[in-house]
Amino acid sequence: MGLAQFTNEVVVTKGTSGIVVLTDAKPEIHRACIRCGRCVEACPMELVPSRLSILGEANQIDEAKENDVLDCIECGCCAYVCPSRRPIVQFVKYCKSELRIKEMKEKAKAKEAAQKSA
């Protein structure tokens, strides 16, 4: 899965395998999850993406971690099948980045405490 580019002045590097240009992409307003279970059926990692997207939307990142958000491979199957057009992958990425920030902060704190006691 590639990343969307915000400008057309991005260089093509050796690792670039392809460029996809979509003509009819339009921003979509997502609705609330209707719990249809399509994402649960689609998920190759057998997680519960609907739950992760709700937790990400509500900023409950610790609960998202308990629901194995870190095991998500961000394939996007859940967001493809979602009839409510929820940006599930975006919520998952948000949870992961918040968890990373939290972990870094905790590590820095522990280091500081260790230095103080030493």
Q: Which residues bind another protein (CB under 8 A)?
A: 1-8, 20, 22, 25-28, 31-38, 40-41, 43-48, 50, 68, 71, 74, 76, 79-85, 87, 89-90, 93
Give the Cα separation of 118 and 108 in Å (integer): 15
CB of 65 or CB of 87, closer to another protein: 87
Q: Which two tokens stand for residue 115?
A: 């230095």
User: Shortest approach of another protein to residue 118 CB, angstroms?
Assistant: 29
What is each CA distance from 110 to 17, 20, 50, 65, 107, in whole angstroms?
A: 42, 45, 34, 21, 5
Give the Cα separation of 18 and 8 in Å (integer): 14
User: Shortest approach of another protein to residue 83 CB, angstroms?
Assistant: 4
CB of 2 or CB of 114, closer to another protein: 2
